């Protein structure tokens, strides 16, 4: 028997199944209109697509609770159809390239990430909040171009191109925010 949760007990971070899809509860509030029955206002995020929507539920509506298993994995390589990862138990997992290609650009070979499993099947890729990547192409800083906040575009070892301060040079390692795709700082390690 599946676990269920009542709409009045929903909390931020809980995963529920609505209309056959898995959604994460981002926030919830109890709302009692002047007339009519009270409702539970929620903001939900689709785990597959990342899209959000606001949904009102009746009080005491039941939903199946979804349990995701998170496994640490090492990124190995990409072929034409999938990204290949190795779990801690040396088992290999393939994720379809079209589903993860926007995230793979933040992973260099042998870097760590998490794979989310839904009902024992690989479901999604979860990146660390920040990654360290090597700059492989960087135009030289032009003399006299010292305006505060001046940036240039560099190419990283994964092929990702981002804007960085002009003092960053080829061969340096930098920290990149995987949520925004922006430069954070030089890697001091």
Domains contained in the chain, number: 3
Q: Any idea what the CATH number is for the domain that residue 10 is in?
A: 2.30.30.30
Which of 179, 117, 186 has the alpha carbon at shortest distance from 154?
A: 186
Q: Looking at residue 106, which CATH number applies to its domain? A: 2.40.50.140
The answer to whether residues 58 and 45 belong to one domain is yes
Residues 59 and 18 in one domain: yes
Domain boundary among 126, 148, 165: 126
What string of pLDDT tens digits covers the 189 residues of the chain?
A: 358 888 888 888 888 888 888 888 899 998 888 888 888 899 998 877 778 899 998 888 888 888 888 899 999 999 889 999 999 999 999 999 888 888 999 999 999 999 988 878 888 888 999 999 999 999 887 665 555 678 899 999 999 999 999 899 999 999 999 989 999 999 988
Domain boundary among 18, 35, 64: 64
Q: How many residues does the chain have?
A: 189
């Amino acid at each position: 028997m599946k676990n269920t949760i009542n709409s009045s007990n929903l909390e931020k971070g809980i995963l529920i199944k609505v209309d056959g899809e898995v959604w994460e509860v981002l926030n919830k509030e109890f709302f009692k209109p002047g007339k009519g029955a009270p409702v539970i206002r929620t903001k939900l995020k689709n785990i597959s697509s990342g899209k959000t929507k606001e949904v009102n539920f009746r009080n005491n509506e039941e939903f199946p609770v979804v349990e995701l298993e998170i496994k640490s994995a090492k990124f190995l390589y990409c072929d034409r159809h999938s990204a290949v990862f190795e779990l801690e138990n040396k088992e290999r997992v393939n994720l379809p390239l079209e589903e993860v290609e926007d995230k793979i650009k933040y992973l260099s070979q042998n870097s760590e990430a998490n794979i989310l499993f839904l009902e024992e099947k690989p479901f999604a890729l979860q990146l660390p909040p920040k990654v360290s990547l090597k700059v492989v192409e960087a135009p030289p800083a032009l003399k006299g171009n010292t305006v505060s906040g001046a940036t240039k575009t560099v190419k990283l070892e994964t092929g990702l191109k981002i804007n960085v301060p002009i003092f960053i040079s080829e061969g340096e390692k930098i920290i990149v925010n995987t949520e925004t795709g922006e430069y954070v700082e030089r890697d001091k390690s």
